[in-house]
């Protein structure tokens, strides 16, 4: 990316400060552009869900990875649970989605409590042999005793497809039958997964993020302290593809030593992702230590107050630009972490040279994020989001400490304690957000005349705008005359 006016190169800028200038284009369709990240991670779209306890979990990882993105499981998750989750993810089907499944003897209330764990809006009811016998939706519970069994209200007139069905065939079958969910069964009639209309179409648009064995790519974070070599070696043993070494201040002796130690222990084939930095020198030092990818962003996250608390950090776009230049000297890559709140932010991060983006807060407000959906006094659904250095996160991370030592840790908390992230009416599912973000990126690349991300970074021309110009770019929500 180059600036329209050379004098803007030395300004410290964030995403809202900048716009892209349209360029001559020979791209005929947005679908013709290649958005595969050039960093050899196996991702097919430049979206990674950050290792936040309120965003990254089993359901999120399955859903996002199926659409080509990545999810970094948090370092605060117990090792036993990480191993179970990785095993689960490696067993998932690259096309067929995993539904919520219940027995017909379960109560309607139980079903209602679980139905929002996925964005399908349905529960598959199975017999004791795991064969589908019905479908339950929220409409089936209308006016019913919530303690009665779902077997008495479920829809039993369901259609099936076997595991040879193509996404197009599945869509046509759903369309003709006027139903929303298609159970996929094996030769014995046992449930393998489901397809929805949207899922079938997405399977044609996106490619899953798979490793060389054809399994979902998994990424797990570890801290820069403790026996990190032992942790890293165990992660490699269970099949983890990307190890993210994560600390708030990545340009430190401890972090550099940690990256060196992990690289020596796991060999050259495992991808090491190191976080967090905001300068070119920090990027170079971590790449020299053995990292493949460096995470850029200090204080720009939606739940982060680091810059307010400490005055430390950097406007995100300028941080990305400088760190990209440093990474290219070392044949490394950077991911832009923080400040991605809408498609234009992701677009600018990619134009500036990032190979991927890390996004947390907005994915916390989806069906697939950990935690249960709650409803406010107006009936609007939301989930609770916390910063990774907040009091709640500190309590969870250091719950093994003695009460006195835990209280001392709280004195160094940062980030919002707790916030409500409302589920958007249009983007309530993680896949809805992916569609929204990727649609903006594809369009931006066509405006720039770029057929792939490398071309986009070469051809993008940026200008600096006023706050009024930024506001002008927003759609008018209400006309007053």
Q: Which residues are annotated as a binding site?
A: 246-248, 297-299, 301, 304
Q: Which segments are annotated as binding site for K(+)?
A: 299, 301, 304
Q: Using an 8 Å Cβ cutoff, are 462 and 20 in contact?
A: yes
Q: Are strands 381-385 and 419-422 parallel, antiparallel or unpaired?
A: antiparallel
Q: Return d(Cα 70, Cα 88) in angstroms, integer.
A: 15
Which secondary structure element, helix H or strand E, spans residue 206, and what is its range? none
Two tokens, residue 105? 């003897």
- Active-site position among 194, 275, 294, 304: 304
Which residues have CB under 8 Å from 177's CB, separation 6+? 159
Sheet holding 419-422, edge to edge: 374-375, 381-385, 419-422
Q: Which segments are annotated as binding site for NAD(+)?
A: 246-248, 297-299
How many other C-beta atoms lie within 10 A of the C-beta of residue 399?
9
- Cα Rg of the chain, angstroms: 23
Largest CA distance in the chain: 71
Say if residue 276 is preceded by a cis peptide, omega within 30 of 0. Answer: yes
Nearest Cα residue to 249 out of 99, 439, 366, 414: 414
Q: Return d(Cα 443, Cα 399) in angstroms, integer.
A: 46
Please confirm, yes or no, whether 304 is among the known catalytic residues.
yes
Which residues have CB under 8 Å from 316's CB, separation 6+? 14, 15, 296, 297, 300, 336, 338, 339, 349
Q: Return d(Cα 43, Cα 328) in angstroms, integer.
A: 20
Q: Using an 8 Å Cβ cutoff, are 343 and 383 in contact?
A: no
Q: Using an 8 Å Cβ cutoff, are 155 and 141 in contact?
A: no
Residues with catalytic annotation? 304
């Amino acid at each position: 990316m180059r600036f329209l006016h050379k004098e803007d190169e030395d300004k410290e800028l964030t995403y809202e400060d900048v716009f892209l200038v349209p360029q001559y284009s020979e791209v005929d369709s947005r679908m013709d552009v290649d958005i595969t990240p050039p960093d050899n991670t196996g991702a097919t779209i430049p979206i990674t869900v950050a290792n936040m306890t309120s965003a990254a979990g089993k359901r999120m990882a399955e859903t996002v990875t199926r659409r080509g993105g990545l999810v970094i499981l948090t370092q605060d998750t117990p090792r036993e649970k990480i191993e179970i989750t990785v095993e689960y993810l490696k067993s998932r089907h690259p096309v067929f989605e995993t539904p919520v499944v219940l027995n017909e003897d379960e109560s309607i209330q139980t079903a209602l409590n679980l139905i929002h764990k996925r964005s399908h809006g349905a529960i598959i009811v199975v017999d004791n042999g795991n064969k589908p016998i019905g479908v339950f939706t929220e409409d089936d519970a209308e006016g019913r005793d919530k303690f009665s069994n779902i077997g008495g209200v479920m829809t039993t007139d369901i259609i099936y497809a076997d595991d040879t069905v193509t996404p197009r065939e599945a869509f046509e079958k759903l369309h003709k039958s006027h139903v929303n969910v298609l159970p996929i069964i094996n030769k014995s009639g046992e449930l393998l997964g489901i397809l929805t209309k949207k899922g079938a179409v997405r399977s044609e648009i996106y490619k899953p993020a798979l490793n060389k064995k054809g399994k979902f790519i998994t990424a797990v974070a570890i801290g820069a302290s403790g026996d990190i070599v032992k942790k890293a070696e165990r992660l490699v043993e269970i099949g983890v593809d990307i190890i993210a070494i994560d600390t708030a201040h990545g340009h430190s002796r401890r972090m550099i030593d940690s990256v060196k130690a992990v690289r020596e222990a796991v060999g050259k084939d495992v991808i090491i992702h190191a976080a967090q930095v905001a300068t070119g020198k920090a990027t170079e030092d971590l790449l020299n230590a053995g990292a493949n990818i460096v995470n850029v962003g200090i204080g720009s996250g939606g739940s982060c107050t680091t810059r307010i608390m400490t005055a430390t950090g950097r406007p995100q776009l300028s941080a990305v630009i400088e760190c990209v230049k440093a990474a290219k000297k070392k044949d490394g890559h950077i991911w832009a972490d923080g400040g991605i709140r809408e498609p234009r932010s992701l677009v600018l991060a990619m134009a500036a040279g990032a190979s991927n983006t890390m996004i947390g807060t907005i994915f916390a407000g989806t069906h697939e994020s950990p935690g249960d959906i709650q409803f406010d006094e107006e009936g609007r659904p939301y989930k609770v989001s916390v910063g990774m250095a907040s009091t709640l996160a500190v309590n969870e991370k250091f719950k093994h400490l003695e009460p006195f030592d835990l209280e001392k840790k709280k004195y160094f908390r940062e980030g919002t304690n707790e916030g409500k992230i409302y589920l958007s009416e249009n983007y309530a599912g993680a896949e809805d957000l992916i569609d929204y973000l990727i649609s903006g990126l594809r369009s931006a690349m066509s405006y720039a005349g770029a057929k792939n991300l490398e071309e986009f970074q070469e051809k993008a021309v940026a200008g600096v705008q006023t706050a009024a110009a930024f506001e002008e770019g927003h759609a008018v929500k209400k006309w007053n005359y």
